[in-house]
Structure 1
Amino acid sequence: MNDYIELNFKKVEKILVTTDFSDHSKSGLRFAVQLAAQNTYSLTFLNVHHLQTPSAWDAVRMDEYEEEQKELIHSRLVLFVEEIYAAMHMEPRTIQYAVELSVLPESRIVEYAEENSFDYICISTRGAGVLKKFLGTITSTLINQSKVPVIVVPHDYKIGTIKSILYASDLDDSENELIRVVSFAKPLQASVELLNFTSEPWKEENRKIFESRIDKIANYPVSINITEKKQDDHLLEGIELAVKKSEPSLLIMFTHQSRNWFQNVFYAGNSAEYSFHTKVPLLVFRKA
């Protein structure tokens, strides 16, 4: 199946959608299907399977067994995805299936995405409560290792039209980041809200200058939310409150804002003290 179509002469972006056949993984598939329904995305559904085989087998028997199992898993994957589409009352468009064998699923997902030039990786998370659990081990590894942007979808995500995006930024590289955010939002016709936390109040004159600059950069409607926070306020708590208030369809963050800034939200030791109850998917762009 071709990866390009004649649509404004633009390359069709590709999303790698991972599943382990569990119920919680269905949320990631649903989100990807919804994305593809609102824009022209090519979806590849991937299962990475750890296959246990007897060590006494020779190489020929091992290869035969692996091929047999891959065919069985492929059939299961097709059925699993078809059931998702049927439940959503949608028809598949540009989709493919892939089965990979590996003892390290997160590493193979990253390798497969980079080898095949995917634009995004979409993965569900078991998450409930504490942020570390929200991310999960595999998801955290993907975010840390993958050069491909990662979409993290909570297991209890309720499907709906993607209408609004909350972009949390430290403003260190807002120009380049905003271009990527708008590039993602515009085809979806989704609104964009830029969220920044500051320890010092902004003067009205500086705010107007900043809003004018953002307007020129984005060439797309972007609302500005500059929020004051105390020195001891945790960023995670502030982001969670902002999510609850604006109820976006998607939260976008960048690891290459100050890396310490991102880690303060996701990986700082005291972040475990806070619960992250949002049911909003998270899109993480990594440093270029």
Structure 2
Amino acid sequence: MKKILVTTDFSEHSKAGLIFAMQLANQNNYHLTFLNVHHPLTPSAWDAVRMDDYEDEQKDMIRTKLLHFVEDVYKSSKIQTVPIEYVVEISVLPNACIIEYAKEHSFDYICISTRGAGKLEKIIGTIAANLINHSATPVIVVPYDYKISDIKSILYASDLDDYTNEILEVVVFAKALNASIELLHFTSKSEENKHREEIEVKIEKLTDYPIHIHIINKDPGVHLVDAIELAVENMQFSPSVLIMFTGRTKNWFERIFYSSNSAQYAFQTKVPLLVFNKS
């Protein structure tokens, strides 16, 4: 059974990540673990024994709060419950704690919500940004205003540098949900059809799962995010999840969020984003 680590700070916007993970588990056999990383304020004069006792008390209290928080989300979303766990960790570094916990307990995905529209730190929050950059566990970033719906379609946006390895991971995720896959690639060349046919032949040798390939000529002056949104609109396609890979040299994710002009670019996340860090 695959496992998803779902993080929450009990805020309203964090509920989106819970709902998306619940929907994933409802469509497939996922085990959910809901995690809150807590940093209690304690007097510096306390000895180690008193500190440990206090942290245990805090964990018990926060775990009860977490249980009620998750139960309320389940009740309001009307999603059927699946095998779940509740975990509270004490740490001053929540992102490092989440990464380490996911690694130690062999989670397949980490799920976290966005914070809303704005620059990168406002959209996905500094914790989510750190998870994407440093977590070996794939990270699902869910828009704070996500509305529950069946996960039916996957948009895999790729630079095709390593698609023969990436596509297998995309298929594993999509197949478990019986979701369609659309592969989107941009080129500056004029041989889109020939290129697509070559890719189709190679992918058919890798998997028998149906994958629709879209290779589109893109003006170099058009921002990648704008190009993706325009392509989706022209394809008349509403993806349930956008999948991208990061961590190798100058990749797509870095070009979207960390290019010289991206600091001024306000990107509103519209669909959940699944990021595989391949570094």
**Aligned-partner Cα distance in 2 for 1:120–1:203:** 34
2:230 matched to which residue of 1?
Answer: 241
**Aligned-partner Cα distance in 2 for 1:30–1:134:** 18
1:254 matched to which residue of 2?
Answer: 245
Shift, 1:241, TM fit: 2.6
Shift, 1:104, TM fit: 0.9
**Aligned-partner Cα distance in 1 for 2:11–2:121:** 20
* Cα RMSD for the two superposed structures: 1.5
2:263 matched to which residue of 1?
Answer: 272
Match of 1:99 among 76, 88, 94: 88
Matches within 5 A, 1:1-288: 12-202=1-191, 204-244=193-233, 245-256=236-247, 258-287=249-278
Shift, 1:257, TM fit: 5.4
Identity %: 60
Which residue identity lines up with residue 269 of structure 1 in the other structure? S
**Aligned-partner Cα distance in 2 for 1:250–1:73:** 31
**Aligned-partner Cα distance in 2 for 1:257–1:145:** 12
Per-residue CA deviation, residues 206-234 of structure 1 (Å, 9 max, x unaligned), is: 43222222233231111111111122222
Is the 2:193–2:215 Cα contact (8 Å) retained in structure 1? no
**Aligned-partner Cα distance in 2 for 1:257–1:70:** 38
Taking a change above 3 Å as real, the CA distance of residues 257 and 195 of structure 1, as seen in their structure-2 partners, is farther
**Aligned-partner Cα distance in 2 for 1:132–1:97:** 27
Shift, 1:136, TM fit: 1.8
Q: TM-score, normalised by structure 2?
A: 0.94
What SS does structure 1 have at the residue aligned with 2:156? Answer: strand
Unaligned segments of structure 1, at least 5 residues: 1-11
81-90 or 111-120, which deviates more: 81-90
207-216 or 249-258, which deviates more: 207-216
**Aligned-partner Cα distance in 2 for 1:103–1:206:** 50
Q: TM-score, normalised by structure 1?
A: 0.92
Is the 1:119–1:148 Cα contact (8 Å) retained in structure 2? yes
**Aligned-partner Cα distance in 1 for 2:147–2:39:** 30
Shift, 1:131, TM fit: 4.1
Taking a change above 3 Å as real, the CA distance of residues 241 and 156 of structure 1, as seen in their structure-2 partners, is same
Taking a change above 3 Å as real, the CA distance of residues 64 and 145 of structure 1, as seen in their structure-2 partners, is same
Which residue identity lines up with residue 199 of structure 2 in the other structure? F
Is the 2:123–2:269 Cα contact (8 Å) retained in structure 1? no
Taking a change above 3 Å as real, the CA distance of residues 227 and 133 of structure 1, as seen in their structure-2 partners, is farther
